[in-house]
Structures are given as C-alpha cells and as structure tokens.
C-alpha cells in the first residue's frame, strides 16, 4: 500500500502496523517530508546512514542496492496508534525496535519520521533491506502476519481496545468459527489480557442476566452457576472464569445484575452442552477437509481422464497407420514373387527361395520397427502420466499432513484440560506491566 493511500483511510479501518517492501527512494522521502499535507513533520531518527537527511539516506540505500539484484530495497512501516492516544518519541522508537527485532532488521539502517494532522499523530519507519556485509537483501517472509502479532501485543500492553482485525475471538462465538478461523485461534491462543477485555465489553453491554448471557455467548463464553458459589463463565474448552475477577466488578454488582443463580445452568451441564456442540462442529470441519481435498484432486481426475482418452486415440491412430503400412509393405513383398511360367523358372533357379528369405527378413524388420514405434509412444505417454501422477502424489502427501494435523488438533481441542487461570492471570498482569509504547 502506498503511503499516500494510507493517510487517506478512515482511522477506524487502520491496523496499527502497515508495511510494504518498495523502491522509489526519492518519492518516499518527498512524502515523508511533506509539510503541505501534514500539520507537523519531524524526523526523530536517522541511524546507520552516512547522510543526515531522508533524501540522502534513502539515496544511499538505493546506491548500495545497485550491487545486488534487489529492486525493493526499502521496507516502510507505518505506526498508527488509536486516535485518542498521544505517543511520545520514545514510544515510537520502542515500537520500531519491536518491529526490527521481530523481522530480523535490528542492525539495519533506518529512519523514523512523525506526522501530525487532523488531531492525530502517527509515525513512519523506513529500513534498508540491504545487508552491507553480505551485499544481499534481507528476506522478510510472512511479514504481515508477524506485524499483526506485534500490533496485537502493543494494543494489549497498553490496554487499548483491540480492533476487530486483531481480536482472536472478536465479536463471534468460536463455535461458529470457520475451519480457517478455528485453526488460526488454535495457533494464536487466547491472551489473558484479551480475555479480560471480552469480559469487560460483555459487562458494559448488558444490564440484566439475559443481556449479560447473550453478550458473553456472542464472545464464546457461557454464563454458569459456580460449583461452590458465585457466578462463572465457561469457554469452549471448558475453562472456568470467575466473573467478578475477569470482568473487574464486585460480587454485589454481579448479584444485582444476575439475581437468583439457581436459574443458571451448572458447570457440568454447560460443559456437557459444549462437548456436544463441539462434536457437531468437528464433524463439519472434517467434512470441510474432505470437500476441499476432493476439490484439490478434481483437476487431476479431469486431467487424467482427458489424458487417458488422448493417449488411447494416439495409440489407435498409430495402430491404424501401421496396419495400413503393413498391408502396403506386404503387398509389395508379395508382388516380388512371380507367377506362371516365370514363377516356375524362379523355383527351378532358386530365385523364388531367395525372394522368400528376403521378404521374411524385411517382414521381421518391419515388425521390429513397428514395435519400437509403439514402445516409444508408450514410453512418452507413461512419462506424461508419471508427471501428472507426481503432482497428484504431492497433493495427496499434503492431504495426509492435513488429516494428521486435523486429527491432532481435534484431539487437543476436544480433550484440552482446564488450565490454571490464576497463573494465566498473573502472566497477563506481568505483560501489562512490561515495556511501554508511551513511557
């Protein structure tokens, strides 16, 4: 995405980190120093370059890239905190450090410029991708996914409300996840800080037991009567959360809102209901996997059918041509044998026997020739078929891995033990007290 396009986007649609590999050193420097469209422009860091201005620094990166085959020698990242937040210079530098560490750009030359306009403040960080020691471009695989993780950590570290694009659960019951969403949630896991946000949002959206039940259920949490006392919620894995602790409200407030807890289902009943729902969901996932695998293989099935038909036609055509040639060659050999008195004379002189021997040799040679042509065609066709089969085998191998991964993940998903939420909460608190974007 071009930086000009970024600044034109509505704020609520912007994730905190947006990046691209690019060239255009002079144009990028012009944009970052554009004081006409920005209220304020300030360059707070130029490091690793000889030049002390953006145009000179980016020109250096371009010049060094000439010794490589890299055409996108710059990596540009936009740091966009929520609109209501004012981040200091140190906060942007810290965020840039996190990006560099996550992507392997820690020792690379970089520049940071801050833009202010329309009452908001954001920064642009530009790295050189060229490693001056090896004279190679640093590869940045999956940088969008990695930056998404950094964005999510920054939001959670500061207690900012996660935008929809960064939520693991979001505003959707995980029992309604698609297979792709479910697998992503399995990989990421739920951060305790995010779980606290979910409980707080549900509490703030509700004013009685029914609305609280619906608000929690929308987020994949199920209001339940505790086994001993109090009100708890279960997630889809059967983990139990004390409502007062995770929503950050007093027991009296919960009693006023929830009322008689005897009307709530028990933990055991809720857990049993969730297991039944997950079983249905898992069946759907298995069906999705099978359908996708069938779709993956269908092009090979169609190509194989077309190839078989084509190869049969080739063999039929070769057989037809060889049979026509065989008849012509047989007739030519038979015409060599004289009939009548001349034929009798040939038999007396031995010419007939010599012609028969010659014809036999030629017939055998023609038979060998025809067989070699058939063998050559079959070999060529088998080579084509093997190439198709090798591609099909690669897909089938991937499908086997998919099935193995699905089986392992489903097993963990269904039989996942309840975790110690007290330790998870302490972990979340430690992270909340970790490095600050805005010291």
Place of tokens 């929308």: 218
pLDDT in tens, 298-355: 998 899 889 989 998 999 999 999 999 999 999 999 999 999 989 898 889 999 999 9
Q: How many CB atoms within 10 Å of residue 169?
A: 22
What's the token pair of residue 23?
């060239």
Greater confidence (415 vs 164) lies with 164
**Burial of residue 302 (number of CB atoms within 10 Å: 0-12, 13-18, 19+):** exposed
Q: Which residues contact 41 (CB under 8 A, 6 or more apart)?
A: 32, 33, 34, 35, 113, 114, 115, 116
Percentage of the chain exceeding pLDDT 90: 35
Between CA 215 and CA 320 the distance in angstroms is 76
Give 419's pLDDT tier (boundaries 50, 70, 90): very low
Shortest CA distance to 47 belongs to which of 103, 125, 137, 139? Answer: 125
List, in sequence order, the alpha helices (H) in 241-266: 243-247, 251-258
Place of tokens 């840039």: 96
| Domain limits, the chain | 3-165, 174-268+422-432
pLDDT of 96 above 90: yes
Greater confidence (249 vs 434) lies with 249
Give 179's pLDDT tier (boundaries 50, 70, 90): low
> What's 133's DSSP letter?
T
Task: Assign domain 3-165 to its CATH architecture.
Answer: 2-Layer Sandwich (3.30)
Question: Mean pLDDT across the stretch 388-405?
Answer: 84
As a whole number, the mean pLDDT across the chain is: 81
Shortest CA distance to 201 belongs to which of 159, 154, 234? Answer: 159
Q: Is this structure's pTM higher than 0.75?
A: no
Predicted confidence at residue 156, as pLDDT, reads 78
> What's 266's DSSP letter?
B
Predicted confidence at residue 238, as pLDDT, reads 74
pLDDT of 365 above 70: yes
Predicted confidence at residue 357, as pLDDT, reads 95
Helix (H, G, I), strand (E, B) or coil at 300: helix
Predicted confidence at residue 8, as pLDDT, reads 34
Greater confidence (129 vs 383) lies with 129
Helix (H) or strand (E) holding 114, with range, is strand 110-117
Give 229's pLDDT tier (boundaries 50, 70, 90): low
pLDDT in tens, 26-50: 999 999 999 888 888 899 999 999 9
Place of tokens 């990028």: 28
Between CA 219 and CA 197 the distance in angstroms is 11
Helix (H) or strand (E) holding 233, with range, is strand 231-234
């Amino acid at each position: 995405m071009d930086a000009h396009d970024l600044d034109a986007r509505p704020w609520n649609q912007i994730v905190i980190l947006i990046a691209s590999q690019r060239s255009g050193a002079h144009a990028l420097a012009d944009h970052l120093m554009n004081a006409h469209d920005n209220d304020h422009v300030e360059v707070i860091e130029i490091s690793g370059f000889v030049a002390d201005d953006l145009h000179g620094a980016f020109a250096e990166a371009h010049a060094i890239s000439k010794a490589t085959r890299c055409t996108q020698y710059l990596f540009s990242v936009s740091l966009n905190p929520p609109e209501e937040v004012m981040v200091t210079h140190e906060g942007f530098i810290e965020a840039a450090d996190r990006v560099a560490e996550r992507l392997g750009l820690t020792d690379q030359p970089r520049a940071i410029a801050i833009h202010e306009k329309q009452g908001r403040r954001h920064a642009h960080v530009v790295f050189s991708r060229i490693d001056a020691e090896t004279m190679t471009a640093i590869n940045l695989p999956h940088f969008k996914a990695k930056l998404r993780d950094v964005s999510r950590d920054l939001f959670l570290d500061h207690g900012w409300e996660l935008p929809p694009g960064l939520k693991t659960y979001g505003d959707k019951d995980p029992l309604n996840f698609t297979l792709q969403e479910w697998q992503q949630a399995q990989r990421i896991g739920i951060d305790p800080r995010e779980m606290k946000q979910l409980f707080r949002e549900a509490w703030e959206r509700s004013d009685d037991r029914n609305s609280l039940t619906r608000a929690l259920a929308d987020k994949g949490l199920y209001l339940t009567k505790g086994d001993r006392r109090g009100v708890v919620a279960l997630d889809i894995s059967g983990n139990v959360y004390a409502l007062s602790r995770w929503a950050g409200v007093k027991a009296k407030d919960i009693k006023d809102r929830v009322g008689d807890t005897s009307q709530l289902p028990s933990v055991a009943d809720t857990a049993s209901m969730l297991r039944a729902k997950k079983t249905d969901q898992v069946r759907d996932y298995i069906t999705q996997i099978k359908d996708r695998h069938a779709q993956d293989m269908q092009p090979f099935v169609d190509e194989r059918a077309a190839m078989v038909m084509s190869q049969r036609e080739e063999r039929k055509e070769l057989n037809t041509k060889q049979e026509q040639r065989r008849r012509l060659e047989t007739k030519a050999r038979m015409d060599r044998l004289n009939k009548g008195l001349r034929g009798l004379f040939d038999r007396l002189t031995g010419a007939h026997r010599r012609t028969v021997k010659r014809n036999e040799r030629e017939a055998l040679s023609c038979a060998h020739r025809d067989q070699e042509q058939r063998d050559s065609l079959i070999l060529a066709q088998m080579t084509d078929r093997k190439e198709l089969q090798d591609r099909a085998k690669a897909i089938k191998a991937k499908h086997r891995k998919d099935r193995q991964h699905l089986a392992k993940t489903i097993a963990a998903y269904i039989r996942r033990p309840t975790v110690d939420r007290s330790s998870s909460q302490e972990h979340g608190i430690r992270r909340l007290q970790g490095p600050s974007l805005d010291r």
